[in-house]
Amino acid sequence: MLVQDVSPTTANFAGALGRDDQSVSGKGLCIALSPDGRRAYVGGHSGVWRSDDGGSTWSHPEWQPATVGGATRPGALPATNVYDLHINPTNSDIVFAAVGRDGRAASVAGVYRSADGAQTWTQVHQFTRTTGGVTRVGMVGCIAAVPDDPSTLYVAGELAVARTADGGATWTESVPDPNGSVFHVVAGPSRPGGRRVFAAGTHVWYSLDGGVTWHADPVAIGLGAATDGAGASSGALAIYPADDNVVYLERGDLTLWKGEYPAPPSTAAGNWIQLPSPPIAGGTDSGGTFVIPGTGPGGAPSLYVSDRRSVHGAVQDPATTSDWTLVEDGNCHVDPHGLALSADFHQAGPNASPPTPGRAVLVNDGGVNVTIDGMRTWSNASGLSTLNIVNVAVNTVPGGPTAITFGTGDNNGFSTADGGAHWKTQAYLGGDNDCSFSDPRQPTRTVLFAPRANPANVGKGEVFLFVSSDANPPDTAINSTDLRQIPGPPAAVDGNGHPTWGWNAVSYWYDYGYRPIVLTVAGEAPQADGDFVTIRFTGVVGVNPGQLMRSTALSTIATAADWMTAATADGPAVKAFQVGPVLPDPLISVVQASGGHASPTFYVGNAPPTVTGATGSMGLWKLAPGAAAWQRIVPGPAGPTSVASVATARPGAARPTIASRFFVDPYRPELVYVLGADHVYRSQDGGASWSVDASLEGMITDGGAFPPTITGTDDSAQSVLRDMQFDPRRPGFRVAAGIAGVFMTTDGTTWQPLLRSTAVSMQPTGITYDWVACDRAVYIGTSNRGLLRISPLPPDWDFPHGSLQATVGQISLLRINDVGTGFGPPEDFLDAEVIVLVDSEPEKAFGLQLRSDANRPMADGMLGLLRDCFNRSRPVRLEFLRTGCRTAQIVRVIENT
């Protein structure tokens, strides 16, 4: 097996949008640049990336084990979320990272140090407070250097400020306010009498003695923690280089403040004034605020600030809004989060060409932009594979091409018709694009959620249905002629009476387990016009119960009113119909189907918080074929509701009390997994009885490191179990994904890791299992780590197609069939008359042709040897050419004694 990054790249993406709207890189949260402008690091939701050419090209110091699924290499950064970085000015291999918002029960958030250029890391400090036996770990969001000593650093860690004077070997904490939270810190040079240090969080504090003691500034200005989206970034507090009695602060609400403090030894508070904010360039968006002092046109001291959509510069201090100028160009993606300047950076101006423009590196929702001409022009970085993927639809025609499409946060969507060799812009242009789905048995169709399509159609949203005109996957790229836009139901209203979606065809519900397609099971044909299920909301979402709706004629739905049908069964001219009675709980908003088109079973849950803000009971209900009423299966009607420990759990004795996530095998309606409050449960009888799946639980919780209910991460939908995939032909084959990584079982009971999140610093958001392709593959959509692919999956061979290999084993099956009838499914067909299975190669088939041709004598001879080995139970050595996923052509038969 191999793990491959198959994300779009600058080399293979032909986008249709401007670079400010779509990039092959996704969000970064912070950036650091060495004083000489050569080394750069970016932090975000996928750990730390590194550039050795001043930010132009990037690589990720992945920590993949020697074998897929193996233990993560020692020294890997254990958590993904990085909010600030600092490069040692004398040795750019030494870098510090502020790691926060970790979901483990015992958080590993803290200050990390690498001495080898982000290859390996060591936690050098963690902020903790233990109260009443409960230990709280502080959010580390800001690292501050001082201008006169590369060994001295300050770090704000929510609970305290920590300082080191020995390069991170030892740390001393001081608490500005035991009742407050401190998220930002800056420090000036050492002066007689002490060093100025400023901190901000729930208040502003200042120190004149190097952060040993603190004074609270009475000014009512707070500054929030470094954000994952809109809000303040780690650079939102700055000390003025030429005067360490002056600080600047830009809050998440875009107000810009300047605090001037009297020179020491005065301990008086600062005089704060609000400066004019920059003009809002197109409205605020989801960037982070920062204020970075630098050298402006003509060498004038200047400030560079973010309005959360773009970056502006002004000579210190701006007197009016018009003093600000936009310093980006059209290559810069919207929503900046950080800006770093080399020591020799000078901004160019209309009448000022700097002799040494130096370098500026900007990180935003589209990755990194670099300028080397004083901010006149910016270029796009490459190699930064940080797209934030919602989920992935994969359409593979047996023996043919694989089409892939996915939506991203803030970077629209991407489509490829050739397995990722070439990428285009997806047809839906939602900015924050949404989910897409397909039935592996029907690769000519793709369904894509388009909740922002047709803005005039307030609150309704659409589904983009792509149907190919031939046997190949449909074209999901922009300007596709395969596209049909299917309107959603009429808008419902939220708790405030505002229009909102009238159905759950939005990624919000995907994140909690909604799967909209009834998949085709083995032995049945796909529905010609698909098989789509959704929950229709009417009235106030979360107050009025929803109705499960189904359509096997999706392409015929022309108006929102088509969803308001009273039909309760499918039939001719029926566009959509109600399934079962009204849903039994008004907060139910997730549905999954199983069992195929003829008689599906439906499972519904109410785990997601609704648009009204209400949280459901996390129950699970089921509607079996022919049933007249919804049956509640979690919590169940009887039986113990918890177990003391996995070790003592008696199968069937315990039941989950909640289903914060559930996943039903779409091909086997009796197989259901539930993430409960205490354990991962599995039912093999449709919810009648449950057992704890200790093996899966051990994997997805990383041995108990992550609790069943995740809190405190960057993603409110984060979970140890975000997605599961199943195989229509292999009952025991399953794949699961969650915050700890991606895991697999081939027998349904014993799970093993495919890729641990710590190995590549990823956060899986969803997985898609392509069992049609040869080789079979799992695609992993991640939060800001792009699109990863693991393939081939067992039992597929690892060696190349066409290669000559050998195996020795006992023949377990010897078969001869008529010419041309062959062996195997269409996607892995073996065109042979003699078929051999050997016990050393499970699920593989070997064949040779036995026909009236020149090879007939050889074939007769090989068949004779095969019969001898079979009849005498002797091992046989087969030498073969790999011709398919699990099929091979026999070229030699050797009978061993």
Partner 1 sequence: MPVTASGQLSLLRVHDVGTMYGPPTDQIDVEVVLQFVGRPADAFGFQLRTDSEQPARSGMLDLLRDGFNNNWIVSVDYDAPAGHHNGVLMRVWLTKPAAHATLPLGTITAAKA
Closer CB to partner 1, residue 2 or residue 458? 2
Mention every residue, 6+ apart, whose C-beta is less than 8 A from residue 523.
none
Classify residue 360 as exposed, middle or buried by CB count within 10 Å of its CB (0-12, 13-18, 19+): buried
Q: Does 136 bind partner 1 (CB under 8 A)?
A: no
Among 863, 876, 885, 890, binds partner 1 (CB under 8 A): 863
List Cα–Cα distances, 215 to 218, 684, 746, in angstroms. 9, 63, 61
Q: Does 851 bind partner 1 (CB under 8 A)?
A: yes
Closer CB to partner 1, residue 744 or residue 811? 811
Closer CB to partner 1, residue 623 or residue 793? 793
* DSSP-derived 3-state class of residue 827: helix
Which range, of 292-300, 390-398, 588-596, 828-836, touches partner 1 by CB under 8 A? 828-836
Amino acid making up residue 29 = L
| Residue 853 CB, nearest approach to partner 1 (Å) | 9
Whose CA is closest to 709, among 740, 679, 682? 679
| Residue 598 CB, nearest approach to partner 1 (Å) | 17
Phi-psi region for residue 54, left (φ > 0), alpha (ψ -120 to 50) or beta?
left
Among 304, 423, 797, 846, binds partner 1 (CB under 8 A): 797
Among 555, 709, 807, 889, binds partner 1 (CB under 8 A): 807
Residues 196-255 that bind partner 1 (CB under 8 A): none
Among 806, 826, 843, 858, binds partner 1 (CB under 8 A): 806
Q: Does 873 bind partner 1 (CB under 8 A)?
A: yes
Closer CB to partner 1, residue 829 or residue 870? 870
| Residue 841 CB, nearest approach to partner 1 (Å) | 8
Q: Does 813 bind partner 1 (CB under 8 A)?
A: yes
| Residue 559 CB, nearest approach to partner 1 (Å) | 42
Q: How far apart are CA 851 and CA 839, in angstroms?
A: 27
| Residue 379 CB, nearest approach to partner 1 (Å) | 46
Tokens of 304: 């560079």
List Cα–Cα distances, 759 to 67, 829, 864, in angstroms. 11, 36, 50
Among 169, 561, 808, 858, binds partner 1 (CB under 8 A): 808
Tokens of 459: 């609150």
Among 498, 729, 801, 867, binds partner 1 (CB under 8 A): 867
Among 835, 845, 876, 893, binds partner 1 (CB under 8 A): 835
Q: Does 810 bind partner 1 (CB under 8 A)?
A: yes
> What is the bridge-based pairing of β-strands 887-895 and 845-848?
parallel
* DSSP-derived 3-state class of residue 760: helix
Closer CB to partner 1, residue 212 or residue 819? 819
Among 106, 216, 421, 816, binds partner 1 (CB under 8 A): 816
- Please say whether the beta carbons of 109 and 125 come within 8 A: no
Q: Does 496 bind partner 1 (CB under 8 A)?
A: no
Q: Does 842 bind partner 1 (CB under 8 A)?
A: yes
Which range, of 201-209, 317-325, 758-766, 837-845, touches partner 1 by CB under 8 A? 837-845
Q: What is the DSSP letter of 562?
A: G
| Residue 72 CB, nearest approach to partner 1 (Å) | 23
Closer CB to partner 1, residue 48 or residue 863? 863
Q: Does 833 bind partner 1 (CB under 8 A)?
A: yes
* DSSP-derived 3-state class of residue 695: helix
Q: Does 889 bind partner 1 (CB under 8 A)?
A: no
Q: Does 879 bind partner 1 (CB under 8 A)?
A: yes
Q: Does 819 bind partner 1 (CB under 8 A)?
A: yes
Rounded (10°) CA dihedral 54, 55, 57, 59: 110
**Any idea how long the chain is?**
897
| Residue 865 CB, nearest approach to partner 1 (Å) | 12
Q: How far is CA 55 from the centre of its chain?
A: 23
Classify residue 861 as exposed, middle or buried by CB count within 10 Å of its CB (0-12, 13-18, 19+): exposed
Closer CB to partner 1, residue 629 or residue 816? 816
| Residue 879 CB, nearest approach to partner 1 (Å) | 4
| Residue 830 CB, nearest approach to partner 1 (Å) | 13
Closer CB to partner 1, residue 65 or residue 609? 65
Q: Does 733 bind partner 1 (CB under 8 A)?
A: no
Binding residues for partner 1, how many (CB under 8 A)? 42
Among 120, 190, 565, 840, binds partner 1 (CB under 8 A): 840
Residue 200's DSSP bridge partners are 184, 204
Q: How far apart are CA 28 and CA 647, in angstroms?
A: 43
Tokens of 570: 């499918």
Q: Does 826 bind partner 1 (CB under 8 A)?
A: no
- Please say whether the beta carbons of 4 and 387 come within 8 A: no
Residues 49-88 that bind partner 1 (CB under 8 A): none
Tokens of 670: 């009796």
Whose CA is closest to 216, among 207, 225, 205? 205
Whose CA is closest to 210, among 222, 225, 224, 195? 195
Residue 30's DSSP bridge partners are 43
Dihedral pair phi/psi, residue 194, rounded to 5°: 135, 170
Q: How far apart are CA 343 and CA 151, in angstroms?
A: 18
Among 123, 190, 377, 805, binds partner 1 (CB under 8 A): 805
Which range, of 153-161, 634-642, 722-730, 799-807, touches partner 1 by CB under 8 A? 799-807
Q: Does 522 bind partner 1 (CB under 8 A)?
A: no
Q: Does 814 bind partner 1 (CB under 8 A)?
A: yes
Closer CB to partner 1, residue 251 or residue 776? 776
| Residue 858 CB, nearest approach to partner 1 (Å) | 11
Q: How many CB atoms lie within 10 A of CB 814?
A: 15
The two most distant CA atoms of the chain are separated, in Å, by 104
- Please say whether the beta carbons of 8 and 22 come within 8 A: no
Q: Does 870 bind partner 1 (CB under 8 A)?
A: yes
Rounded (10°) CA dihedral 513, 518, 522, 526: -150
Among 265, 818, 854, 897, binds partner 1 (CB under 8 A): 818
Q: Does 801 bind partner 1 (CB under 8 A)?
A: no
Residue 198's DSSP bridge partners are 186, 206
Dihedral pair phi/psi, residue 521, rounded to 5°: -90, 165
| Residue 812 CB, nearest approach to partner 1 (Å) | 5
| Residue 666 CB, nearest approach to partner 1 (Å) | 24
Q: Which residues of the chain form contacts with partner 1 (CB under 8 A)? A: 794, 797, 799, 803-819, 821, 833-835, 839-842, 850-852, 856, 859-860, 863, 867, 870-871, 873, 879-880, 892
